[in-house]
Amino acid sequence: MLKSNFNVYLNCMCIHLNMRRWTLSGVFVAKQTIATLLLLFTFTSTASAVDYSPENLKWTNLKYTGSKLFVSLKTSISIDTVSKSEAEAAFIIPPEGKGKAAVSNEIVKINVNNAISSVLGGSNSDFTTWLEPNTEVLQRTSVYGGIKEWYRTYRFMDGKVYSDKRKPAKKSEKGKTWDHWTKISPGYSVLDEDEKKIIISEPEVLAYLVGVADLEKKGDAVTFNTFDKKGVVALTASVIDEKMVSVDYQLQQGDKASRVNKKVQALEVQLTFNPIRAGVKLRERYKTDIRMLVDPELKVILKISGDMDYAGHVTFRLESLVLKP
């Protein structure tokens, strides 16, 4: 996982803020890899007036690859819209109070899957996030398999967040699906008054926001907020430059497939972080330089880079892209 929690959606890609490490016979690798980078790139507006629409998204599926120290890293991202009733059927019910109700008729559903493999073994993590088109998160579920198994769902409520965390309680439960695990740790995280006034999202929205937000030229910026149990963190993604970059990926549209191998004038985006809660200091996971290169026409992340513990600087590259029909 990166020093931030891409814990990258390239998530990192996929980026989350948990910095848990895997040990493969002495080889340490980041647990959430791309998802950790994505976490740090989760674009969530601080104002509900911003209107993002999934109709503006030009693609439905992305795949990224990276490698370091004999370890292969893969991340896949899929984005779809589901009906309000379908989303609500997937929501868990907190023991106390109610979760936020879906407001929009169409809810954005994002899935990010990360896989780490080496000659010594492997692990995987899977994230599913339901959010309003303006990126307000309603629920987020994560499942980790392989060396260390655990499950967690965050159900967002008015003023607090309910957490349902589960692990195998005995050997006979290991290797089974999370609904067979009996070590259950429920809990709540309470938001302060400032955090209650803003839109809060999760790491997996990064790719979605890149696809629908107005990041088009140097100087453009988007500020977003990501949930952290220690306090919500505001992240600003700023276009700092333009760079010519070579790309090589598979392009799919309908039943037609082609290879894209060319140079693209991409936008270079950098992230900065600030806690929302007064008096809270940034954790080390946020004190890292994460940058990505974005195709301004397709509005897709072409590359995302950051520092991983024990591995140093790592870059994830776009491997395949599925366009909307």
Q: Per residue of the chain (325 residues), what is the pLDDT tens digit?
A: 334 333 333 333 433 323 333 333 333 333 344 444 444 333 333 333 456 889 999 999 999 998 877 788 899 999 999 999 999 999 999 999 999 999 999 999 999 999 988 777 788 899 999 999 989 999 999 999 987 899 999 999 999 999 999 999 999 999 899 999 999 999 999 999 989 999 998 878 888 888 998 889 999 988 778 888 788 888 778 899 999 999 999 999 999 999 999 999 999 998 778 888 877 777 766 667 789 999 999 999 999 988 765 556 788 999 999 999 8
Q: How far apart are CA 256 and CA 262, in angstroms?
A: 19
Q: Which amino acid is at 87?
A: A
148 secondary structure, DSSP code: S
How high is the pLDDT of residue 116?
A: 86
Give the pLDDT confidence score for residue 25 in this predicted structure. Answer: 35
CB atoms within 10 A of CB 57: 21
What residues have CB less than 8 Å from 61, skipping those under 6 apart? 76, 77, 78, 79, 252, 320, 321, 322
What confidence score (pLDDT) does residue 285 get?
A: 67
Structure tokens at 198: 């803003």
Joined together, the tokens standing for residue 293 give: 């290169």
pLDDT at residue 114, rounded to an integer: 92
pLDDT of 317: 96
Residue matched to tokens 């799919």: 252
Cβ(58)–Cβ(211) under 8 Å?
A: yes
Distance CA 308, CA 297 (A): 30
- Residue 186 one-letter amino acid: P
| Cα separation, 299 vs 297, whole angstroms | 5
3-state secondary structure of 198: coil
Query: Residue 64's pLDDT is what?
Result: 97
Q: How is residue 166 written in tokens?
A: 């589960």
Q: Which two tokens stand for residue 51?
A: 């209107």
At 172 the three-state DSSP class reads helix
The strand ranges marked E within 69-158 are 71-83, 106-118, 121-131, 137-145, 150-156
d(CA 31, CA 3): 11
User: How far, in Å, CA of 283 to CA of 270, rounded?
Assistant: 18
Contact 7, 31 (CB under 8 A): yes
**Residue 84 three-state SS:** helix
Residue 209, classed as helix, strand or coil, is helix
- The Cα-based distances of 176 to 3, 106, 147 in angstroms read 30, 33, 13
The structure tokens 């109700």 sit at 101
58: left (phi over 0), alpha (psi -120 to 50) or beta: alpha
